């Protein structure tokens, strides 16, 4: 009897650094985290249709209403070069 399963989440810990990987991301890579996720959080992620990073690759059209020209340029540049960390820090 063979069991086919796929590991979705992985943690690597060195004692000083903990890294997390979600293998469902299209371009998965490990990221630094400060602690392990709660089991409830991982369970919620398993029930979602896609990962947060995969959703970020499919933004709806950008509505520029209420933004200044410099803000529009910064947001459009961020989306074009796909720097999600910078984008989140700026919001």
Q: What is the pLDDT of residues 71-82, one digit of tens each?
A: 988 887 876 666
Task: Convert the pLDDT of each residue in 47-62 to its tens digit.
Answer: 888 887 777 677 677 7
For the cut 90, the answer to whether the pLDDT of residue 66 exceeds it is: yes
* Nearest CA among 6, 33, 8 for reference residue 19: 33
Rounded average pLDDT over 26-32: 88
Sheet holding 31-33, edge to edge: 9-13, 18-22, 31-33
Q: Which tokens sit at 18?
A: 């903990």
Q: How far is residue 16's CA from residue 79's CA, in Å, rounded to a whole number? A: 33
Q: Which residues pair with 12 in a beta bridge?
A: 19
Q: What is the pTM of this model?
A: 0.57
Q: How far is residue 13's CA from residue 55's CA, in Å, rounded to a whole number? A: 27
**Annotated domain spans of the chain:** 7-49, 59-91
């Amino acid at each position: 009897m063979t069991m086919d399963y796929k590991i979705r989440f992985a943690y690597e810990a060195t004692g000083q650094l903990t890294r997390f990987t979600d293998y469902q991301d299209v371009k998965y890579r490990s990221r630094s985290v400060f602690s392990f996720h709660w089991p409830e959080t991982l369970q919620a992620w398993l029930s979602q249709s896609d990962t947060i990073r995969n959703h970020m690759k499919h933004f709806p059209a950008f509505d520029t209403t209420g933004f200044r020209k410099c803000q529009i340029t910064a947001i459009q540049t961020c989306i074009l070069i796909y720097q999600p960390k910078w984008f989140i820090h700026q919001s």
